Amino acid sequence: MTETISETKEQTALGVPWNVIVHNDPVNLMSYVTLVFKRVFGYPTEKAEKHMMEVHRLGRSILWTGERERAELYVQQLHSHLLLATMERANY
């Protein structure tokens, strides 16, 4: 019984999705941030601009949610473009 509960908890933890979040900084240009969102996530201009404005106005925006490996890849790509990006478990 105990083993069953442990396994269930582990599976749940592994299955928890991760958020990819971009944070505001005072230096990056709005046009540059929009361009990076289009390139990294393949978002159309309108969606990229919506997220860019969310970053600008609210200080952060969740760009993507999904499995950890993909989230790490997106954060790596965002860092390669010098954006402030982090990943965190979606249930935080």
Partner 1 sequence: MHFSYDPAGSFVIHGVEGPLQQILAAIPLAAQAGESVPARDRLFPEPATGKDAAEISEEWREYVQPGLRHLFEEAVVTVAADLKQMEGGGETLTIVRQNIDAWLNTLNQARLVLAARFNVTEADMDGPASHLLTSDRDFALFQIYFYGALQEFMIQGIDEG
Contact set with partner 1 (CB under 8 A): 21, 25-29, 31-32, 35, 72, 75-76, 79-82, 84-89, 92
Q: State CA 38 to chain mean position distance.
A: 14
The candidate with the shortest Cα–Cα distance to 30, out of 8, 10, 55, is: 55
Residue 1 or residue 29: which is nearer to partner 1 going by CB? 29
Residues counted in the chain: 92
Shortest spacing between CB 4 and partner 1, in angstroms: 24
Shortest spacing between CB 36 and partner 1, in angstroms: 9
Shortest spacing between CB 5 and partner 1, in angstroms: 20
Is the dihedral angle over the CA atoms 36, 43, 15, 19 positive or is it negative?
positive
